Structure 1
Amino acid sequence: MATKNRVVSKPKSSSSSSLVPWLGIAAIVILFDQISKITVLRTFQYAEEKAITSFFNLVLAFNKGAAFNFLSDQGGWQRYFFTAIALGAAIFIIYLLKKHAGQRMFCWALALILGGALGNAIDRLVYGHVVDFLDFHWKSWGHFPAFNIADSAICIGAALFIIDELRRVNK
């Protein structure tokens, strides 16, 4: 009776193959973010508003700074500063995704933050500012600063990160 020697190949590195879905999520965030911004840029003039509901408008706004227009009144250096921070964060996030690829909620959080950070970094490199267009407001309390899909992904990712950490602490 002849026996065949079977060569069992090792599976691909689990860290590289398990990194792909998380980078895919980040890519989807970037895609939706950029398509929405291009659509608004082609449809609206700067500062033009379109009421959608009693508490929500679409408006074309530009942010040369960071969250809540932080440092937006500076001479232009902040464009490169915030782009460098986003790229540095992206490298660190990819490292964390690779290292913790099996932790689903943690990786969801990181993938959303990665996509949002790169979406806004693309704006800074291409336009010199971040394109914002989602404008929520409530009666006499005024308007919340306009934001975009990248900002939303970052906020959702941060919330998931906090929930994940709270769950981990409770275990």
Structure 2
Amino acid sequence: MRLLFRTAALTFMIDQITKVLVVNVANLRSVGTIDVLPPWLSFRMAWNRGVNFGLFSHDADIMRWVLVALALAISGWVLVWMWRDPPGRWGLMSAGLLVGGALGNVLDRIIYGAVADFLNVTCCGIENPYAFNVADIAIFVGAGGLLLFTGRKPDRKKTP
């Protein structure tokens, strides 16, 4: 479980540091867009009041707290799951990525009222209208890792 907590803490710190640097230090909040590696990568300020890609977005303050409670409940459920049925190293790191990312977005909702998204990747002449952040990447990779690296362990007993 220590590996899970370390991964979660590192993920949370990287997410929050990147948000402070980009949103506040680089002043993306006011500038709106910064081309980093044109045309592939740019920083575009987006305040996400919903879940992924702005789904279930709502300006009502109650929705912010519902999403905070949901993220905390899912994180708690993952922690209990990992404690009861500890997977291997990769499963624990995956859980840490998911929990750290979820808590990073929870802190955004508490501080800003919305999640600070700023990464925008465009490729092959297709304009991507969506932005995301480090926490979103961690949640996505962590959830995928949990699917891949957890579950039933093979039974080592041979049936006669």
TM-score of the pair, normalised by structure 2: 0.84
Q: Do the aligned partners of 2:87 and 2:150 also contact (CA within 8 Å) in 1?
A: no
Residue of structure 2 in register with 1:138 after alignment = 123
Residue of structure 2 in register with 1:21 after alignment = 3
Q: 1:47 to 1:145 in 2, by over 3 A?
A: farther
Aligned AA (1:49): T
* Cα deviation, residue 158, structure 1: 1.8
1:72-121 Cα deviation digits (max 9, x unpaired): 23423210111000111121111122123352222221111111111100
Aligned 1:16-165 pairs, distance under 5 A? 19-42=1-24, 43=26, 44-46=28-30, 48-53=32-37, 54-164=39-149
Aligned AA (1:51): D
Q: Do the aligned partners of 1:50 and 1:59 also contact (CA within 8 Å) in 2?
A: yes
* Cα deviation, residue 139, structure 1: 4.3
Query: Higher relative contact order by CA 8 Å / sep ≥ 6: 1 or 2?
Result: 2
Range with greater deviation from structure 2 (133-142 or 56-65): 133-142
Aligned equivalents of 1:28 and 1:34: distance in 2?
A: 10
Q: Which runs of 5+ in 1 are unaligned?
A: 1-18
Q: Which runs of 5+ in 2 are unaligned?
A: none
* Cα deviation, residue 164, structure 1: 2.3
Q: Do the aligned partners of 2:90 and 2:145 also contact (CA within 8 Å) in 1?
A: yes
Aligned equivalents of 2:34 and 2:18: distance in 1?
A: 15
Aligned AA (2:135): A
Provide the aligned length of Structure 1 versus Structure 2: 152
Aligned equivalents of 1:152 and 1:59: distance in 2?
A: 16
Q: 1:47 to 1:130 in 2, by over 3 A?
A: farther
Q: Do the aligned partners of 1:46 and 1:61 also contact (CA within 8 Å) in 2?
A: no
TM-score of the pair, normalised by structure 1: 0.79
